[in-house]
Amino acid sequence: MKKIDIIGIRTILFDNKTIKQTIFKNISWLTFETVISKLLMLVLLIYAARILGATEYGKFTFALAFISLFAIFHEFGLPLIVTREFSREEEREKEFYSIFSLKIVLSSLALILILISSFFITSDPVIQKIILILALFSLVNGFLTIIYAFFQARQRMEYRAWAAILQASAAAAVGIFVLLNFPSVRNLSYSYLFASLVTLIFVLFFFHFKVFPLRISWQKKIWQKFLKMSWPLAFISLFGVIYTYIDSVMMGYWGYITETGWYNAAYSIIHIALVPAGLISTAFYPVLSRFFKESKEKLQNALNNQMEIMILLAFPLVAGGIVLAPKMISFIYGLDFSPSILAFQILIIIAGFVFLSSPFHQLLIVLNQQKKVFYITAVGAAINIILNFLLIPRFNLYGAAAATLIAYFIMFILVLFSVKYFTPISLFNFQLIKILILAVLSTGLMCFLIKQPFVYGLNIILTLILGMLVYFVTFFTFQKIARKTGFLKSSI
């Protein structure tokens, strides 16, 4: 019996047998990877914020945000294209040799650009040194990303999971040791670089001997073919990092270093809140790509399933985050970071828009409509920059948060418009609207409970657990009643 159980578990978690089983396997491994790695990195960042203080932490996050603006030059949209193309036609994997050589060229150019630009963004020699270290970290991480895209195309998420956990574990262990014994922003940056180098060496050996023999090929025709497909995604990524990081860069450039620390303390929690959206989107992407070639009906059903899950999670996340923000910031960072509370309450609304819009962003890419996403993100980036110029000097970190929220809202409207008028896929149906109604009702009851003094006064972890229990019990109870009465035809 035990042998049968072990074989069954191995099949579920390591084999690709059916579509449902493969999606479950992918989500399981991605969940395992993301929960462990994100929690480890969050612990590291919390230690960094508490030990270094808002100003030194602001220097680190300013440098990291600046480096992120150059991701386009060494990524250039290649990971998503590799996953999309290789998942459709496995025989194209031999082109990976040339893609890897292309990454070497792009990374070299990116490093040169970062070094030159760093002298114009700040005159602080400490921050310039941090930028150099984190630039090397980012470029090493870029090679990991392209290999992860190969794993994802084969739907071998378990390989990616172990590598990502190794990197997070190394960064957290070394980083916390450094912060406790040799606290400085520069040493914290070195811990990031060390972890990425160790992980890359491990992954390259594993990839070469166990997955796909790695060679370097300099076929410019393949470069041109992939760059032609990926350039819209590259600029989408550029605009994405602009409306994600430009606020931190602008605040740091204008000398609001402490405010940058407060702002990114709030943003660090938002990144954790977005983990489920990333997991679900990553797991659904290869399936949507496959259904694009097989059946419009299958593609529509898969999108509907993804949207139901996103609606289920988005509403309690936003409402609960707004209500519990003061307790969360105080518990995680301490009273010195109380200015982060309002910024967090604004930014958590952005998380809701990300949940609801990410399936449609993915759909446009799957349908080869990435240029539409390019135009949408370009508009969002432009609006965010303009609003940052207007709001940051007057409202500091709160102006930055408001600018980002407005940009995300406009992009959400534009992506809905694009799907409605430029794809054959239906945006919403009565089933999704009914799920939305149940989610709103359950969220209202959850908020009513956690606002009560006897619940709000508990430890934040207990309050969160109680809130989640009330929400999900209420939602699935409503769902069961709705199915029995005929209001709802099927469950999530």
| pLDDT, tens digit, 9 for 90 and up, residues 253-283 | 898 889 999 999 998 889 888 888 887 887 7
Q: What is the pLDDT of residue 414?
A: 94
Structure tokens belonging to residue 491: 């469950």
Of residues 460 and 72, more confidence is placed in 460
Q: In what helix (H) or strand (E) does residue 254 lie, and over which residues does it extend?
A: none
Higher model confidence: residue 465 or residue 73?
Answer: 465
**Residue 154 DSSP label:** T
pLDDT at position 356, please?
A: 92
Residue extents of the structural domains in the chain: 15-427
Percent pLDDT > 90 in the chain is 25
Q: Is the pLDDT of residue 4 over 50?
A: no
For 92-101, what is each residue's pLDDT tens digit? 667 777 777 8
Most distant CA atoms of the chain, gap in Å? 68
DSSP H or E stretch at residue 259 = helix 257-273
d(CA 403, CA 387): 5
- Tell me the pLDDT band of 9, cut-offs 50, 70 and 90: low
- 59 pLDDT higher than 50: yes
- Checking if the pLDDT of 6 tops 70, the result is no
Across the chain, mean pLDDT equals: 83
* Alpha-carbon distance values, 362 to 226, 234, 355, 372 (Å): 19, 15, 12, 11
CA–CA separation, 400 vs 343, rounded Å? 9
Confidence band for 489, pLDDT divided at 50, 70 and 90: low
Least trusted range by pLDDT, from 54-68, 212-226, 315-329, 337-351:
212-226
* Cα(86)–Cα(286) distance, integer angstroms: 10
CA distances to 153, 340, 392 from 357, in Å: 23, 26, 26
Specify whether the CB–CB gap between 411 and 376 falls below 8 A.
yes
Instruction: Return the minimum-mean-pLDDT range out of 90-94, 363-367, 383-387, 390-394.
Output: 90-94
| Helices and strands counted in the chain (H then E) | 17, 0
Rounded-to-integer distance, Cα 344 and Cα 101, Å:
41
Angle at 191 between CA 188 and CA 195, to 5 degrees: 150
* 133: helix, strand or coil: helix
Confidence of residue 162 (pLDDT cuts 50, 70, 90): confident
DSSP 200-237: HHHHHHHIIIII--------HHHHHHHHHHHHHHHHHH
In the DSSP assignment, the letter for residue 385 is H
Can you give the pLDDT at residue 213? 74
Residue 374 is given by DSSP the state H
CB 276 within 8 A of CB 239: no
Lowest-confidence pick of 115-129, 147-161, 431-445: 147-161
With cut-offs at 50, 70 and 90, classify the pLDDT of residue 223: confident
pLDDT attached to residue 491: 47
Stretch 168-195: mean pLDDT: 90
